Amino acid sequence: MTSAPTDRTPAPKPPPQHAARPTEEPAVRPTDQDEVAGAASEVAGGRAGRRAVHGASWWTPLRTVVVVTLGMFVLGMLQKAPCFSGGWFSGQAAQYVHACYSDIPHLYNGRGFAEGLVPYLDRIPERISGGMEYLEYPVLTGAFMQFAGVLTPGGDSLVQDEKTYWLINAGMLAVCAAALVTCVVRTHRNRPWDGMLVALAPGLALTATVNWDLLAVAMTAAGMLLWARSRPLAAGVLIGLATAAKLYPALLLGPLLVLCWRAGRWGGFARVTAGAAVSWLAVNVPVMVAAPAGWAKFYTFSQERPVDFGSLWLIVQQRTGREFEEANLYAIVLMVLGCAAIAALALCAPRRPRFAQLSFLVIALFVLTNKVYSPQYVLWLIPLAALARPKWRDFLIWQGCEVVYFLGIWMYLAYTSSGDKRQGLPEDGYQLVILAHLLGTLYLCVMIVRDVLRPENDPVRRDDGSDDPGGGVLDRAPDVFTLGPLAPAPSRRHAAFAAPSTAATPATSSSTTATTALQRRTVRWGAAMRE
């Protein structure tokens, strides 16, 4: 005889209040997809197993990447220790020999912050500026510098004040670094571990506190994240603010123009452009009106600046033995021609390139053709490289070239500042490290162009079947205008990646379903013109 259930039947125990709740596993594990990442993971216990539960630990990808970033940032600060303890203040040679130079402590006094001068409004006395009568940085960077100056308590020792100013700036830049990797991790939602490329980049650790570029880099990454979330107006606001801190973020509007043209997403492009213009004007117009000469200094200085360190034009100038006064013109011509070639690539590619891919190519073109390349400019490219081609081998090859350049420029400056001793890297050696920087950047550009021409080689699209996870309104959008295929016909195994179609096909497996869900119709140039 079966007894009926009673009210005394014990209820199931509730789950522990503090138990971690497993979340959906990311689509891509870098240790499974990348040989270098897989080999390196052995140091930390090896690849994740099949039964590993993502999200069951406090150490989420975002938290892990942020902690690693801050750890690398601290290591970069320790690398500056020889200069902090005296190298910045004991003549030029010491800070170059130890490769720990930074603009930050020198400009505390050199741009009038020690004397309480207001950037752009107050003329800087020549006795401290060396002839730079106004601050030669964009408005938001100047505000960042001024804010750190206000936080620096003035004392009897200028040396101690400069150290304090550097430490305060380093703390603020560390926040920028954390914001930067947070944005990179969240831009490609199912590839959070790609942010580790940024976190472990030697270029980030070595150059983060050389200058103030991280401010613009972080805001640019935030703008790209908002674009990925299909918020073009907000993305434009961040891009405009980033342009008010450094000029290069404005170049991202070029790739967006071409990609929105190909996809017919003119509304998105109009909103991102309007947001960028309004935010840039909102920051710049008040200073432009109140101090036109001070505001214009950044732009006139950039135009009048002669050929300087790290550029292709410096090699030409040193090899020919004459001043290369035409560098501005040649750089502009090469930039225009290069942008036209990138636009043609974007419109001719068998599949619409991803936003990060074109962004890297355009900023790299600017870096390669510019008449100066400061070591910290590598920060502009690091997050773009992580999003455009998240392959550790190629990333480390490029970063290795940048480390060679970072060490080379300081050894060259040690050579030129050591007088008759000539200790350091001579001119011919410095030209070789410039070539290493140029070739390393070109190598990564070639790999990205190959991915554009053969989408089956693109790690992002190949590993998880994505279209453009950072594309926002462009993601999964059908093409409405192209110039026809440029790449050779893809192999049959990857035909779905190279020639997408919106026509649905029966799914025979989970992988086939994932692939066909991304396919879309391509309307070629002739059809578009007939319409």
CA 473 to centroid of chain Cα atoms: 21
Q: Is the pLDDT of residue 20 over 50?
A: no
Q: What's this model's pTM, rounded to 2 decimal places?
A: 0.85
DSSP assignment letter at 85: I
Amino acid 486: pLDDT:
42
Q: Is the pLDDT of residue 109 over 60?
A: yes
What average pLDDT does the chain have?
86
| 91 confidence band (pLDDT: 50, 70, 90) | confident
| 13 confidence band (pLDDT: 50, 70, 90) | low
Domain ranges of the chain: 61-464
Mean per-residue pLDDT, 126-136: 93
Contact assessment for residue 455 and residue 350, using Cβ atoms and an 8 Å cutoff: yes
Q: Is 35 exposed, middle or buried (0-12, 13-18, 19+ CB in 10 A)?
A: exposed
**pLDDT for 193-247, tens place per residue?**
999 999 999 999 999 999 999 999 999 999 999 999 999 999 999 999 999 999 9
Task: Give 185's contacts (C-beta < 8 A, 6+ positions apart).
Answer: 61, 62, 65, 192, 194, 195
Contact assessment for residue 108 and residue 152, using Cβ atoms and an 8 Å cutoff: yes
- Give whichever of 26-30, 104-108, 317-321 has the largest mean pLDDT: 104-108
* Residue found by looking up tokens 């960077």 in the block: 141
CA separation for the pair 106, 165 (Å, rounded): 10
**pLDDT for 471-529, tens place per residue?**
999 999 999 999 975 433 334 344 344 444 333 333 333 333 333 333 333 333 333 33
Task: Copy the structure tokens of residue 75.
Answer: 């290591």
* DSSP H or E run through 50: none
**pLDDT for 413-432, tens place per residue?**
999 988 778 889 999 999 99
